[in-house]
Structures are given as C-alpha cells and as structure tokens.
C-alpha cells in the first residue's frame, strides 16, 4: 500500500506572494481507474496462507471483513477526503475534529503500522528467497532458520532504504517493477494453476469443514482478525476522490467493484493453497511457496516453483520500496504544522527526508530482533502481524470518531461525497464499522490456536507493552513540542477551527457552501505561528 498522505496538487501564489496548494486534477480519475487504484493498493499474496488454515471458512471471513470493515471504512474515508481537501490526509481529518494532539497521534499510528508491518513482509521475503534452491527439504529448513531470516530481512530493508535516498523516482521504478512482476503476475499464475489443478483432479482429500466458524472458541479465529489489516489503506486512496467527475455516484461504484475483485482474488487464492496443502501442514510463511512447487510439479515443471520464489522475492522488494518513503512523506504534513523538530524536516538534494528514513530503519531493525526471543520464525511473523493490526485499528477508530464529530461540528461544510442514507446511513455505517474494528482489535490480543507461539503470557505481554509504547510515543513528543519547531517558510494550510477562531469541538458558524477568503487563511496561519506552543491545541 502506498502511504503517501499528500494529495496530488500544484502550487500557486496568492496576491500576497504566499504559496498555496490547489488541486488541478478534477476529472482525471474514472470510476474504473479508481477501482484499480484501490485494488492494487490492497491486494497482497503474503497473507493467503494464514487464512488457508481456515479452509472454506476463509471465504466467510473475507466476506465478513469486507462488509463490517472495508465497505463502511471506505465510505467514511471518502466523505472526509472529499470534505477536507487540503494537504495532510488523515492528520487533517482527525485534527479538524479533536485538535493536532490526536491528529498527530493518528498520523503516527499509521506510520507505526507500516514500521511494524515491515518485519512481517521482510520475513516473508527471506522465506521466498530460501525457496530458490533445490531440494524443497533444504528450502524449508533454511526458511525456518532465525539467523538466516534476520540477516536477509535487515539486508533487504537497508539496501532498499539506501536506494530510496536517491529520490522518489528511483524508489518508484523499483516498486512498479516489483509490483507487476512480483505480485500481480504471480497472483494470476496461482489462480490459473489452481483452476487447471482442479480440472485435472489432483486436489488432496479435503476434510469437511462448515462454512460458518465456531465462535465459541475465540482462539481458533484469531488469524481471521488479520484480514482487517489486509484490507487496510483505504484512507490513502480516498484522498483522490476529488479527482473524479462525480464522486457521489462514481465512488461507491468503484468501491463495490474493488471489493468484489479483492474478495474474489483473496478467496480463490486462499482456496488454491488449501487444495494443495493439508490444513494441518500449512505454515504462515512457507505454504505459498510450497503450493507453487506442488502446482508446477504436477505438470513436471517443479523447477518453475523455484523461479516463482525468486520473482515473489522481487515483489517483496518492490513493496518495501513503495512504502519505505511513504511514511516520511506523510509525516512531513505534521512537520510543516510544527510538531516535529526542525532536524526532522530537512530533505536532501533529491527531496528525501533521510533523517526519518534512518529512524524508520532503526525501528524496523529492533522489531525484527523479535525473531531472537520467540520460538519460531512463524510465531515472530504472527506477533508482528497482530501488533500491526491493533495499532492500525486504533487509528481507524480515531477516524470514525472524527467523522462522527465533524458531522456535528461542521454540518454546513461542503462535502463532495456523503455517506448515503442521511442520519440513518451514518448510524448504520459507523455502527457496523466501529463494532467490527473493536471485535478484530480484541481478537488480535489472543494467541492463535493454529500455531505455536510459546508462552501465552510472554506473547500477550509483548503485544500489550508494544501497543502501549507505540501509542504513548506521539503523545510524549507532542507534550515536548517547542515554538522553534514551527518553520515559518512551510505554509501548512490552517485548520478550519483556526480560521474561525474557535475550539475544535465547538460548532462552526459558517453558512452552507462558505469558503474562507485568502486574507482569512493568511491571518489564521500567521496567528498559528505566533501562538505556537502557547495555545492548548497548538
């Protein structure tokens, strides 16, 4: 998922000489183009084995998560993005509702989610690389070696980071090639091979399993909570909604098309793995590669399984390259409004914020060391996935809260897209979305029954301490902010409540369709700079 939270825009200059940002892409996105953007930012093959452990029940979980998470969250993000169109993305949405303290926290949690996600995808990449050798027994043994996984994971991450120092163009080239040849094409091959495999009658004897899960045993459905993170990233693509000609009509159609394709590909890909490997033998990291070996081997071409392992590794490199600079870009909106030290606002000659990238690398390296304290590579992979899911869902709940509050504090704000159904639609969409997120969040604290994670006390303790630490960090940084952090040359567009001179929680007095004048905006920006560090919300 690309995590760039800054909307595409071009600079212009006001009559006073102050730069401002104006969107110029209206009508550049068709309904199908938006659907494709959503699909490519969400689809990933990395998590298929974890859901394959559920067999046909995985289809239920994919549909369930799409209904209670992906659909309502997409609609809420679309309304917020079409209403608050200035730079900042979710940082602006939450800050408009609750002030910068919680806007910065939400932005940080998204950044931290990706940081925690990196070790999981890097572990998957290391396992993929292990499967380029022969025979498979050697591959599986190497892939289970913690030292090997640690070395490869850190080497890949830092090589991609150093490449990103050369600029976004260099990073984009690597991510585009990796996405096409390492994710999209292998995904299509998996589905085609699966269909041919079934037609040839080569599937294993499947143990009968009911479509609906047994909700009385929560530990058996913990892995399903990770689907919420599979579906994460909608808050990113939603910022492009104003590039559509008719968002109110076109965007919901794009969402429904994207959801149908995403659920279909995830479900079929998961079932293909289940057709090749018995449920009890599925490994969260290795089973995708084992499936390719078995599928190609059924046609006498097992060596192509080794080739698939290599291209999937290339896909991992592409994913890391796509995301390694994204968080730094998103945090620049926070920095420009004065909530990060000046030392973290500098970019090199290629426009890259090396300082934040180095900090990211330190975080990723430390988190990857979890490999050394957990019993297996698989358990380390799982704990990182669950921690990332919890962090992400806390951010999601902040966005739902912002949506509800802004509906009340700014009822007359012009909205390019509104959640359908009026007040009832708001209650249904937010009610389903919040309950779904809370359910997945609670489940994510439990050790899964399907894999060995060592002591439950240690497992849950790592997650509790990790989540508490990551939520506390942005609040501590915010409390230590200084007036000197605000760069007067960085013209971050003020929040609406700053322009009006009110508190974030107070109801706006603007009339329907009102847009602030250039002078009002400049006055608010000047006031924000002069009062920075003094006002309780600044």
Distance of CA 9 to the CA centre of its chain: 22
Q: What is the pTM of this model?
A: 0.78
The dihedrals phi and psi of 244, each to the nearest 5 degrees, come to -90, 150
- Exposure of 98 by Cβ count < 10 A (0-12 exposed, 13-18 middle, 19+ buried)? buried
Listed by start position, the domains of the chain span 60-123+143-184+216-244+325-444+458-531
Contacts of 427 (CB under 8 A, 6+ apart): none
Nearest to 537 by CA among 44, 162, 103: 103
User: Residue 241 gets which letter from DSSP?
Assistant: G
d(CA 238, CA 283): 34
Q: How many other CB atoms are found less than 10 A from the CB of residue 507?
A: 11
Distance of CA 537 to the CA centre of its chain: 28
Q: Two tokens at 394? A: 């806390």
d(CA 390, CA 443): 9
Predicted local distance difference test score (pLDDT) of residue 219? 60
Predicted local distance difference test score (pLDDT) of residue 99? 93
Q: State which H helix or E strand residue 2 sits in.
A: none
Beta bridge partners of 244: 29
Cβ-contact 170, 318 below 8 angstroms: no
Q: How many other CB atoms are found less than 10 A from the CB of residue 488?
A: 11
Predicted local distance difference test score (pLDDT) of residue 533? 40
Cβ-contact 225, 438 below 8 angstroms: no
Predicted local distance difference test score (pLDDT) of residue 240? 67
Per-residue pLDDT 10s for the chain (538 aa) are 433 333 333 333 344 344 443 344 455 678 887 777 777 667 777 778 777 777 788 888 888 888 899 889 989 988 898 888 787 788 899 999 999 999 999 989 988 888 888 888 888 888 888 888 766 677 777 878 888 888 998 999 998 888 888 876 776 677 677 767 777 788 888 888 888 888 887 765 555 667 677 666 666 567 667 788 778 877 766 666 767 787 777 877 888 888 888 888 888 888 888 888 877 777 767 788 888 888 888 888 888 888 888 888 888 887 787 777 766 666 777 877 778 888 877 778 877 788 888 888 998 898 888 767 777 777 777 777 888 889 999 999 999 999 999 999 999 998 888 998 889 999 999 999 999 999 888 888 877 765 566 677 877 888 889 899 989 999 999 998 888 887 777 677 888 998 998 999 899 999 888 888 888 888 887 765 555 444 444 4
Distances (CA, A) of 379 to 61, 301, 370, 371, 448: 22, 32, 10, 8, 10
Q: What is the CA radius of gyration of the chain?
A: 23
d(CA 102, CA 96): 10
- DSSP E strands in 346-413: the ranges are none
515: left (phi over 0), alpha (psi -120 to 50) or beta: beta
d(CA 190, CA 277): 14
Q: What is the pLDDT of residues 248-295, one digit of tens each?
A: 778 778 888 888 888 888 888 888 888 888 777 777 677 888 888 888
Q: How many other CB atoms are found less than 10 A from the CB of residue 346?
A: 12
Distance of CA 21 to the CA centre of its chain: 26
d(CA 501, CA 348): 36
Predicted local distance difference test score (pLDDT) of residue 23? 40
d(CA 285, CA 281): 12
d(CA 335, CA 521): 19
Q: Two tokens at 461? A: 């303790």
């Amino acid at each position: 998922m690309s995590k760039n939270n800054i909307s595409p825009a071009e600079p212009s200059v006001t009559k006073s000489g102050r730069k401002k940002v104006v969107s110029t892409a209206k009508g550049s996105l068709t309904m199908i183009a938006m659907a494709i953007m959503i699909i490519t930012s969400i689809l990933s093959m990395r998590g298929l084995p974890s859901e394959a452990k559920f067999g046909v029940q995985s289809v239920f979980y994919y549909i369930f998560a799409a209904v209670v998470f992906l659909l309502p969250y997409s609609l809420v993000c679309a309304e917020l993005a079409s209403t608050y169109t200035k730079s900042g993305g979710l940082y602006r949405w939450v800050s408009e509702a609750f002030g910068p303290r919680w806007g910065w926290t939400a932005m940080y949690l998204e950044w931290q989610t990706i940081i925690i996600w990196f070790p999981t995808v890097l572990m998957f990449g290391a396992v993929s690389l292990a499967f380029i050798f022969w025979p498979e027994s050697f591959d599986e043994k190497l892939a289970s070696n913690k030292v090997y996984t640690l070395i490869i994971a850190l080497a890949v991450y830092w090589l991609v980071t150093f490449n990103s120092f050369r600029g976004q163009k260099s990073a984009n080239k690597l991510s585009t090639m990796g996405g096409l040849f390492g994710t999209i094409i292998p995904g299509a091959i998996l589905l085609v091979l699966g269909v041919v495999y079934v037609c040839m009658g080569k599937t294993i004897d499947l143990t009968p399993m009911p479509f609906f899960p047994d909700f009385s045993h929560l530990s058996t459905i913990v892995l399903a909570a990770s689907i919420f993170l599979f579906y994460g990233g909608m808050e990113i693509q939603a910022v492009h909604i104003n590039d559509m000609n008719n968002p109110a009509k076109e965007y919901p159609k794009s969402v429904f098309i994207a959801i149908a394709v995403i659920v279909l590909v995830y479900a079929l890909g998961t079932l293909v793995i289940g057709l090749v490997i018995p449920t009890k033998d599925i490994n969260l990291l290795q089973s995708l590669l084992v499936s390719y070996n078995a599928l190609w081997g059924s046609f006498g071409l097992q060596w192509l399984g080794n080739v698939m392992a290599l291209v999937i590794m290339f896909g991992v490199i592409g994913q890391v390259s796509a995301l390694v600079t994204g968080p730094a870009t998103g945090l620049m909106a926070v920095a420009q409004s004065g909530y990060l030290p000046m030392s973290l606002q500098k970019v090199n000659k290629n426009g890259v914020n090396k300082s934040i990238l180095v900090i990211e690398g330190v975080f990723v390296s430390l988190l990857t060391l979890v490999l050394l304290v957990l019993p297996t590579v698989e358990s380390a992979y799982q704990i990182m996935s669950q921690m990332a899911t919890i962090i992400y869902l806390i951010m999601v709940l902040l966005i739902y809260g912002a949506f509800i509050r802004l509906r009340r504090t700014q009822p007359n704000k012009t909205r390019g897209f509104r959640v359908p159904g009026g007040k009832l639609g708001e209650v249904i969409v937010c009610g389903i979305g919040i309950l779904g997120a809370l359910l997945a969040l609670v489940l994510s604290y439990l050790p899964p029954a399907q894999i060995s994670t060592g002591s439950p006390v240690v497992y849950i303790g790592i997650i509790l301490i990790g989540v508490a630490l990551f939520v506390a960090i942005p609040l501590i940084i915010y409390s230590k902010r200084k007036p000197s952090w605000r760069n007067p040359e960085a013209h971050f567009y003020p929040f609406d409540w700053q322009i009006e001179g009110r508190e974030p929680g107070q109801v706006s007095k603007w009339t329907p369709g009102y847009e602030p004048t250039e002078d009002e905006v400049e006055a608010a920006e000047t006031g924000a700079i002069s009062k920075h560090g003094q006002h309780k919300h600044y």
